Amino acid sequence: MSLFNVCSWWSAQCSDPGEEYDVASLLCARFGLETQEKDYIIVGSQTGQLSIYYPHNRGFDATDLLLETQMEAPIIGLYAGKFSGNVRNENANQLGVLLPNAIIIYNVVAIGGLAEHGAQLRLQVQAEHKFQRVSFGLCQGHFGQVKGREFFCVVHLDGTLTFFEQDGISYECRFPGHRALPAPVAYCERTDSFFRFSATWDLQCFSYQDLSHSLVTKSSYQPTWSQGVGEGIVDMRVVQVKENCSNIMILGERNFISLDDNGKFNFMLKLDYAPKCFTSFVVGYYWEPGARLISAIISDSSKLHLYEEANIIWAAQWPNQSPAPVAIQRSNVQNLAGGIVTLGARGQLEVGYLGADPFQFQVQPLNVEELSFAQAHKELQKLEDEIKEAVDVRDMDALNQQAADQVRLSFTIEQEANDDLDTLLLDMPADVAVKELPSAKGILRCKIKAELAELQLVFQTPNGVRCSQDTLSFVNVPAGTSKEFKLDFYTAELLHIHSTKVEVVASFLSTRGIPRVIQQSANLPLSMFYRICQPQKAAGIKLTYSITSRHVSPKLATFFGEFLEEKSDTHALGLQLLCPGLEKQSEVITVVAAKNSNRFRIQSDNVETFAMILERIVERTLQLDSSAGLIKMDKKKPKRGVLNRCVERLMAAPFLPTQPILHRIDVHHETQQSIRKQTDQLEELWQQFKTLQRQLQEQSESEPKEALTMQIESNYDQLILEGDKLVEIRRDERKQRCDLNCAVALAKWIIHALNLEERVVNVVSSVLSVPIEDWTELSWEESMAPGIDMLHHFGPLTRSKSSSTHGLLDANAGSRDSFDYSRFRRHFATLFDRIVRLASSPVTVNPEKGKEEPSMEEKTAPTQQVDEIGNMQRMLGEKGLPLAPRKRKTNMSSSLEAVEDDEEYDEEDLREDVGYRKEYGATDQKNPHNKKRSEWVNEDFELPTTEELFSDLGIWW
| Residue 662, CB-side half-sphere exposure with 13 Å CA sphere | 17
Mean per-residue pLDDT, 901-927? 38
pLDDT, position 455: 92
Beta pairing partners, 49: 70
CB distance 103 to 96 below 8 Å:
yes
Domains and CATH numbers, the chain: 393-526 (2.60.40.10), 547-652 (no CATH), 842-924 (no CATH), 927-957 (no CATH)
Q: How far is CA 301 from CA 319, 325, 733, in A?
A: 10, 9, 51
Mean per-residue pLDDT, 39-68? 89
Count the helix, strand and coil residues of the chain and give each as a percent rounded to the nearest 5: 25, 30, 45
Q: Which residues contact 619 (CB under 8 A, 6 or more apart)?
A: 523
- Position 951 pLDDT exceeds 60: no
Cα 927–chain centre separation: 57
Query: Has this prediction a pTM greater than 0.85?
Result: no
Percent pLDDT > 90 in the chain is 32
Determine which helix (DSSP H) or strand (DSSP E) holds 625, and give its type and residue range.
helix 610-627
Query: How far, in Å, CA of 455 to CA of 407, rounded?
Result: 10
**Confidence grade of residue 44 (pLDDT, cut at 50, 70, 90):** very high
User: How would you class 725 by CB atoms within 10 Å of its CB: exposed for 0-12, middle for 13-18, buried for 19 or more?
Assistant: middle
Determine which helix (DSSP H) or strand (DSSP E) holds 632, and give its type and residue range.
none
Amino acid type, 177: G
- Position 222 pLDDT exceeds 70: yes
Based on its alpha-carbon atoms, the radius of gyration of the chain, rounded to whole angstroms, reads 40
Amino acid type, 920: Y
Q: What count of other Cβ atoms lies within 10 Å of the Cβ of residue 739?
A: 21
Query: How far, in Å, CA of 62 to CA of 705, rounded?
Result: 57
- The pLDDT tens digits for 839-858 are 887 643 333 333 333 333 33
Question: Following DSSP, what letter does each residue of 256-269 receive, concatenated?
Answer: EEEEETTS-EEEEE
Query: How far, in Å, CA of 259 to CA of 552, rounded?
Result: 80
pLDDT, position 809: 46
More confident residue, 945 or 214: 214
**Confidence grade of residue 697 (pLDDT, cut at 50, 70, 90):** confident
Percent pLDDT > 70 in the chain is 78
Nearest in space to 132 (alpha carbons), one of 164, 152, 162, 97: 162
CB distance 180 to 173 below 8 Å:
no
pLDDT, position 223: 86
Query: How far, in Å, CA of 385 to CA of 283, rounded?
Result: 57
Query: How far, in Å, CA of 546 to CA of 650, rounded?
Result: 6
- The pLDDT tens digits for 162-177 are 888 766 667 788 777 6
- No. of H helices and E strands in the chain? 13, 43
Q: The dihedral of CA 88, 92, 98, 99: what is its sign?
A: negative
- Position 219 pLDDT exceeds 70: no
- The pLDDT tens digits for 84-133 are 766 666 678 889 999 999 999 998 888 876 545 667 888 988 888 888 88
Residue ranges in 699-757 assigned as alpha helix (H): 706-752
- The pLDDT tens digits for 495-549 are 999 999 999 999 999 888 888 899 999 999 999 999 999 998 888 999 999 988 8
Q: Which residues of 925-944 are buried (b: 16+ CB within 10 A; e: fewer)?
A: eeeeeeeebbbbbeeebebb
**Confidence grade of residue 259 (pLDDT, cut at 50, 70, 90):** very high
CB distance 66 to 53 below 8 Å:
yes
**Confidence grade of residue 583 (pLDDT, cut at 50, 70, 90):** low
Taking all residues of the chain, what is their mean pLDDT, rounded to a whole number? Answer: 79
Cα 225–chain centre separation: 36
Mean per-residue pLDDT, 593-599? 87
Query: How far, in Å, CA of 291 to CA of 246, rounded?
Result: 13
